[in-house]
Structure 1
Amino acid sequence: MSQQYDLNTKTWDADFVHTIGMYALYDGYIVKVYDLQNQTIWDAETCDMSLCTQVMDDISHRMDTKYPQMNGEFMSKTISIMKDGEVIGTAHISYFGPYFLSADDFQFLYALNTILIGIGLFSLIFSVIVGTILAKRLSSPILNTVTVTKQISDGDYDVRIAEGSNTRELNELIVAVNHLADSLGKQESLRKQLTSDVAHELRTPLTSIGTHIEAMIEGIWEPTNERLQSCHDEILRIGKIIQDLENLAKVESDNLKLDKTQINLTELSEKAVGNFEVGINKKMLNVSISGDSSAIYADQNRISQVLINLVSNAVKYTPENGTIKIHISEDKQFVRLCVSDNGIGIPEDELPYVFERFYRADKSRNRMTGGSGIGLAIVKSIVTAHGGMVEAESHLNEGSSFVIKLPKNKME
């Protein structure tokens, strides 16, 4: 507005003031311009009173209809018109306050609200669709896992869940369930083999005893000392099998109690070797014990049983003039005990199963040596109960090594 005033001539450009005033009127503002003598330069009401009335009525109606709670009213404001720091006049402006919206504003808000509602509905529908798809993708493998676990609980250990889920946690669950099925399947196979092996191991001596006694009762055989001794040996064999089963049940029980004291592995190794002195001398075996004289905190009777089982196997399966070595070493945390021999060895593909109960790489050979396949299972259970680990290394016809690692610290 100030640009329409000429400081030199002290006059206003009435046409431009009129144009500005009309634009303001269409926007909802009634403008009156006065000079310094308070003479009217331009007045919207004087210019077009009917248009002013119509504009104000439209604004009032729209605001009362759309925002009745606002309680708006017409108000006026007078401001000075400045040019180059000099007051050249005043402008009196009337408008609907505290604020008002034009028809274009309402149309814009309506369009904006329509767009927002549309976006909201689209987002809701999209979320439902995506949620349904994701829920199906998540629930499908879970339901499949539930079905498979029910089949596993019913004894079907061959069933598996297809892997490949994009969700890491679900994939881990699937792998765990499949691993469980594998483990239970192996345990079931071992259970069946255990039943078969126990039946066979007990049937053979019982049949022999029954045959001998029946023949002696019927007078076919004389009850000589040799035949009675044979029956006695078979009874001892049955007792040995039962004793092995009892030992295995004890060490595999969850409530196995360890009576830990400080023990010396070198001394226990020497005692274990001494138990087999007759067999060692008979086969002229070369047995050596080397390494550190390590002391650990463990159950002496249980660790003695471990050493006896390992030395017993080494003596059984090492040929005449063979070598058995027991080596003990240690670091800051563990004591390492290795029992090795140059005996018949174990096939490489059989090594993962040597610590399973009643597992025997060569059943006929074990029966000839009196083995029942329980000794190494007992070894593993005892070592595990102590918080240690046991490993087997072997090559067929070259020998075997059994390595035990036991913690040195005092574990409860």
Structure 2
Amino acid sequence: MRELLRGRFARRLALAFAALGIGAAVLTALLVNAAFGARFDDYLAQQQHAREQQLAALFAGSYTRDGRWDAGSLDELAPSLAMTGSQAELRGPSGQLIWALDPGMAQMHQEMMGSQMTGTGPPGPPHEVPIIANGRRVATLIVRLPQGVVPAVDEEFRTAVNWLLIAGGAVAGLVALATGLVFARRATTPIAELTHAADDLAAGHRHRRAAVTTRDELGRLATAFNTMADRVEREDELRRVFAADVAHELRTPLAILRSQIEAIQDGLAEPAPETIASLHEETLRLSRLVADLETLASADAAAFTLDRQPLALDELVDETVAALADQFTEAGIMLRTDLRPVQVDGDAVRLRQIITNLLTNALKFVPAGGATTLTLRRVGQRAELSVADTGIGIPAEELPHVFDRFFRGQAARAKGSGIGLAVVAELAAAHHGQICVDSAPGRGSTFTLTLPARDEPRSHPSLQSGEHP
């Protein structure tokens, strides 16, 4: 079926080339015929005018100096006129007939000489030619020239040209058809390959990729398709890993809840405060996991739900840090801040969520006795927020996937759902910002968020810095 569709497309493309070639030939034939007809008609008119002027000169020679017509000279012109198949009569200024060719004589000469020399058709329409002698008009020659010989040659020539153009059009059509087949094959081969790869990918063959054979638009399209296929395969793998991780994290608290509740129901355990606290802790663990999933879903639509307002980012960061200070204190991590005044247009709730996720991420990977430093400053037209920690760092092979959905590094498998940084990336993009990371194992990580800054300067510049042991 694929080859059939490919063949149909190639044939249609080839036929389009052929139709273009034949159409160009037909258009050329029409234009040539129109131009030739106009030029040839002009040529015939010039030839007829020249012959009429020659006859007028001959008749003018028959006019004597004393203002009379020489009848003998006029009769001498009759055989020449009769041999050419022309008809003529000479009239004076007042319209009186001076001389006319005898129709019987013209017919006799035509029969004697044959139609091939005297013309193949009847005389044309009459033309009036003035006869000028001694500087004045003395008479009018009414002449009808034969129209047969020259139009026959014209017709033969036009026929020859038309056949030549038809032959040229046929040859052009064949050449265009062959060229179209070649180019159609070359054009449809990468398209067919890309179609096959898309069909295979849709059928579940995630490892299928399109062969990139050119560097033109089709080659770039195949490269983009392969990039998309790589991302689809990667996200499928991450989804499977994520589903397994979520199932594992759900299974553990659910198993604890079930076992303790069944023990209480069977009378094997008492609902002591310690048991109630354990059950409560497991329900909180489940709630955090569900909240992370809801957060990721809401981040997808963040660009459409942002409540953008002018706000002081340094004040928002300081408030968020103050709300998380106790958690850093309990973990034994020093939290330092260096905040410069910067204003941005953004959603305060979403920006606070970004800062919270970056700080809680540091809480997971910085051991007790470590430190986290949060700095905020304006760089050109951008607000730059960085969170640097002295944690365990991120392996080089995991760095490109830190902000991928459903990705969790090996060191994070027991410390959360791995959704927080993906949410940060989504919300940063929704604010027309960027998030990047610089890290290496053993030297900590630095996450840098950049956002468009407002042009209005702060009315009361100040610096905020501090330490939260």
Q: Say which SS state the counterpart of residue 252 (structure 2) adopts.
A: helix
Matched, 1:260 2:308: yes
Q: Residue 334 of structure 1 aligns with which residue?
A: 382
Q: Residue 86 of structure 1 aligns with which residue?
A: none
Contact 1:205/1:235 (8 A) holds in 2: yes
Whole-angstrom distance in 1 between the partners of 2:114 and 2:312:
108
Q: Residue 157 of structure 1 aligns with which residue?
A: 206
Whole-angstrom distance in 1 between the partners of 2:77 and 2:389:
118
Matched, 1:314 2:327: no
Q: Say which SS state the counterpart of residue 240 (structure 1) adopts.
A: helix
Of residues 247-256 and 196-205 in structure 1, the stretch that sits farther from structure 2 once superposed is 247-256
Whole-angstrom distance in 1 between the partners of 2:239 and 2:168:
64
How much has 1:334 moved relative to structure 2? Answer: 2.5
Q: Say which SS state the counterpart of residue 349 (structure 1) adopts.
A: coil
Q: From the superposition, tell whether residues 254 and 157 of structure 1 become closer, same or farther in structure 2 (CA, over 3 Å).
A: farther
Q: Say which SS state the counterpart of residue 376 (structure 2) adopts.
A: strand
Of residues 241-250 and 137-146 in structure 1, the stretch that sits farther from structure 2 once superposed is 137-146
Amino acid across the alignment from 1:383: A
Matched, 1:377 2:422: yes
Of residues 335-344 and 299-308 in structure 1, the stretch that sits farther from structure 2 once superposed is 335-344
Deviations, residues 266-298 of structure 1 (Å, cap 9, x unaligned): 222223222332343345434322242112121
Q: Residue 272 of structure 1 aligns with which residue?
A: 320
Deviations, residues 337-380 of structure 1 (Å, cap 9, x unaligned): 11112211111221221112331111xx3244x32101111111
Q: Residue 407 of structure 2 aligns with which residue?
A: 359
Q: CA RMSD in A?
A: 4.4
Matched, 1:408 2:453: yes
The match for 1:122 among 152, 155, 171 is 171
Contact 1:318/1:344 (8 A) holds in 2: yes
The match for 1:200 among 237, 245, 248 is 248
Contact 2:392/2:443 (8 A) holds in 1: yes
The match for 2:229 among 167, 181, 189 is 181
Q: Residues 11-160 of structure 1 correspond to what in structure 2 (within 5 A)? A: 57-58=115-116, 61-62=119-120, 72=124, 96=145, 101=150, 109-160=158-209
Whole-angstrom distance in 2 between the partners of 1:150 and 1:234:
46
Contact 1:338/1:401 (8 A) holds in 2: yes
Matched, 1:247 2:295: yes
Whole-angstrom distance in 2 between the partners of 1:110 and 1:63:
19
Matched, 1:398 2:443: yes
Q: Say which SS state the counterpart of residue 250 (structure 2) adopts.
A: helix
Structure 2 portions without partners, runs of 5+ = 1-50, 86-108, 133-140, 456-469
Q: Say which SS state the counterpart of residue 305 (structure 2) adopts.
A: coil
Contact 1:345/1:398 (8 A) holds in 2: yes
Q: Residue 290 of structure 1 aligns with which residue?
A: 338
Q: From the superposition, tell whether residues 35 and 342 of structure 1 become closer, same or farther in structure 2 (CA, over 3 Å).
A: farther
Deviations, residues 143-171 of structure 1 (Å, cap 9, x unaligned): 54444434434443332222235752x34
Amino acid across the alignment from 2:434: M
Q: From the superposition, tell whether residues 153 and 79 of structure 1 become closer, same or farther in structure 2 (CA, over 3 Å).
A: farther
Amino acid across the alignment from 1:57: S
Q: From the superposition, tell whether residues 280 and 299 of structure 1 become closer, same or farther in structure 2 (CA, over 3 Å).
A: same
Amino acid across the alignment from 1:387: H
Amino acid across the alignment from 1:375: G
Whole-angstrom distance in 1 between the partners of 2:296 and 2:437:
19
Whole-angstrom distance in 2 between the partners of 1:200 and 1:79:
120
Whole-angstrom distance in 1 between the partners of 2:77 and 2:438:
108
Amino acid across the alignment from 2:442: N
Q: From the superposition, tell whether residues 126 and 74 of structure 1 become closer, same or farther in structure 2 (CA, over 3 Å).
A: farther
How much has 1:46 moved relative to structure 2? Answer: 7.3
Contact 1:60/1:96 (8 A) holds in 2: no
Contact 1:59/1:96 (8 A) holds in 2: no
Contact 1:393/1:401 (8 A) holds in 2: yes
Whole-angstrom distance in 2 between the partners of 1:343 and 1:286:
12
How much has 1:222 moved relative to structure 2? Answer: 6.8
Whole-angstrom distance in 2 between the partners of 1:106 and 1:276:
101
How much has 1:251 moved relative to structure 2? Answer: 1.9
Contact 1:75/1:97 (8 A) holds in 2: no
Whole-angstrom distance in 1 between the partners of 2:255 and 2:331:
31
Q: From the superposition, tell whether residues 372 and 76 of structure 1 become closer, same or farther in structure 2 (CA, over 3 Å).
A: same
The match for 2:433 among 370, 379, 388 is 388
How much has 1:133 moved relative to structure 2? Answer: 4.0
Of residues 254-263 and 320-329 in structure 1, the stretch that sits farther from structure 2 once superposed is 254-263
How much has 1:180 moved relative to structure 2? Answer: 3.2
